[in-house]
Amino acid sequence: MKQFLPVSRHEIETLGWKQADIIIISGDAYVDHPSFAAAVIGRWLQACGYKVAILPQPDINDPYSFMSLGAPRLFFGITSGNMDSMINKYTAQKKLRSLDAYSPDGRTDLRPDRATLVYSQIVHSLYKDIPIVLGGIEASMRRLPHYDYWSDKLRNSILFDSRAQLLVYGMGESAIKVIADALNDNPALIPQDVPGTAVIISKCPQDAIVLPSFQADFSAEDLFKQHLLYEKHYRQHTICQSFAGRWLKINPPAPPLKPQILDEIYALPFARQPHPMYDGKTITAFDQIKTSVTTHRGCFGGCNFCGIGYHQGKSIQSRSVSSILNEIRTITRQDYFRGTISDLGGPSANMWEMACKIGISATCPRTSCLFPEICPNLRTDHAPLLSLLKKAAAIPEIEHLFVASGIRFDLALCDDKYIRQIATEHTGGLLKLAPEHKSPEILQLMQKPSFELYQKFLQIFAAYSRQANKKQAVVPYIIVGHPGAILNHTIELAAHLKRENVKLRQIQEYIPLPMTASALMYYTGKDLSGNPIHIPKGRELRLMKALIQWFLPENRKLVIEALNNAHHSELIKFFLYNK
């Protein structure tokens, strides 16, 4: 019988506890798997000697659901789940999504808007004397005042709005253990200096970097100054910002986890399935990742529209070979295993075991190790990864082992052997890559590599696929509507896709993620040098999307409108009549 962390008062009592030390409230269903953050933090705290319970998706209209486990001895940990609740719930057009992948049977009514904030406010009203610690991607990316796309306004740090005592940003294991130990020693004393946390204090330290005060007239210019100051200093210095007579204090990030600690985390006794309370229900996110393995954390790509660098960091934290192979063997013993490892990778698949040659990745001021060119101090050798792939594929129970998460094609071009291995052994017909756009101007704003490098990768991949007598294709991820984009940029991209007969059924419409550089551009209308740029909105976005999907009959009139608006009516025949 697989053991889960308790989710009910009955389960707590069955374990012989009077109360839990820590209760984690999550906007996701409880899936006891290392790809689900609440389970990871819960299991880690359990391994550190604490009694941990999980309260998944409590009903915000029923106070009793927040009291069903009783009060924790130390603190409530609150997270919206694996995703920001607003991104999880709404499309770029601010319409409700039809599916919540982290809820049973895809239900969309089990997680409130701004879940971290709502849960925290309810818990505070019920348990005023018990500390609240925020964590997860939603809290992490809202640790500073930020532009909020869904309300179209600037919002304060979520720590002030939530009335929580502490906020953990990043992956959290280091910080949450220090917090638990500190409160265990003295429940009345909130620790203020834990790396990887933010806290509200009454006086700013003298050596702190001070951001513009957040107040009613906080402007786009203030947000711009805040971003540049924070980006320059947050890796090494304490950051402070005043609000209504108090100070937001953001401590420097927690140091990257050492491989042995990361190995310990992934070796924790996860049940590797949803809690039995969901018996008979589908949790889509679990189905998608149940046979995948995370090899590392972090990404040094530094894409301006992405939050991974601010959350997981740009230092790659790699698991050992033995840890990864042991997890694969564990997966092969699961009832749902059918011979295939669906993905072996991380935020970017081919960064495992890569690091800065001079050991300064945690403090280096470069936001990207790959842009505008690959840093000469970056170790780009793919040989360790190739060895890992071969060892994993050699496990007797494995019939197929795929690399499905995003390969950085500019990095892969450093090693033809890696591209050959992916093409001949680890692609299941389709390989997904993320050029994002074609225009040099937009790629510059995104901090993405040139389209020429993408095309070079395609040529090499196609050649190796032909040599292996495999019919394979690359499906590109495309973003429309990124700050700076105009119709002419999109026409250029759409024309390329048309010539190559690439018909994309899914396109990502740009959404400004809190705290990211691209969100700053979106709100201020300026690039990071302060130069004005165009911000596509409204119908223009619809026209851009129609151009990329020129082949859909319902887009015919929109394509004509877009081409006329951009003064390229001569291309109407090319898009709509040329086969």
One domain, residues 313 and 402? yes
pLDDT at 236: 92
pLDDT at 189: 94
Residue 552 included in any domain: yes
Question: Are 481 and 536 in contact, with CB atoms under 8 Å apart?
Answer: yes
CATH number at residue 58: 3.40.50.280
- Per-residue confidence band for 365, with pLDDT thresholds at 50, 70 and 90: confident
Range of the domain at 565: 481-579
- Per-residue confidence band for 361, with pLDDT thresholds at 50, 70 and 90: confident
Q: Is 540 left (phi over 0), alpha (psi -120 to 50) or beta?
A: alpha
Residue 212 included in any domain: no
Residue 505 included in any domain: yes
- Confidence check: pLDDT of 192 > 90: yes
Residue 270 included in any domain: no
One domain, residues 66 and 192? yes
Residue 100 included in any domain: yes
pLDDT tens string 17-59: 999 999 999 999 999 999 999 999 999 999 999 999 999 999 9
Question: Among the three residues 474, 493, 515, which one is the final residue of a domain in this structure?
Answer: 474
One domain, residues 462 and 500? no
Q: How many domains does the chain have?
A: 3
Q: Compute CA 111 distance to the chain's CA centroid, rounded to the nearest angstrom.
A: 18
One domain, residues 494 and 415? no
One domain, residues 393 and 503? no
One domain, residues 445 and 514? no
One domain, residues 327 and 450? yes
Residue 4 included in any domain: no
One domain, residues 499 and 441? no
- Per-residue confidence band for 363, with pLDDT thresholds at 50, 70 and 90: confident
pLDDT at 130: 97
CA–CA separation, 94 and 152 (whole Å)? 11
pLDDT tens string 485-517: 999 999 999 999 999 999 999 999 999 999 999
Residue 258 included in any domain: no
Q: What DSSP character marks residue 253? A: P
CA–CA separation, 399 and 206 (whole Å)? 60
One domain, residues 392 and 467? yes
Residue 1 included in any domain: no
pLDDT at 579: 63
One domain, residues 448 and 492? no
Question: Are 410 and 452 in contact, with CB atoms under 8 Å apart?
Answer: no
- What is the secondary structure of 418-440 as a DSSP string? HHHHHHHHS--SEEEEEEE-S-H
- Confidence check: pLDDT of 1 > 60: no
Question: Are 212 and 241 in contact, with CB atoms under 8 Å apart?
Answer: yes
Residues 6+ away with beta carbon under 8 Å from 170 = 140, 196, 253, 254, 311, 312, 313
pLDDT tens string 219-239: 999 999 999 999 999 999 999
pLDDT tens string 88-108: 999 999 999 999 999 999 999
What percent of the chain has pLDDT above 70? 99
Mean pLDDT of 79-96: 96
pLDDT at 406: 86
One domain, residues 502 and 432? no
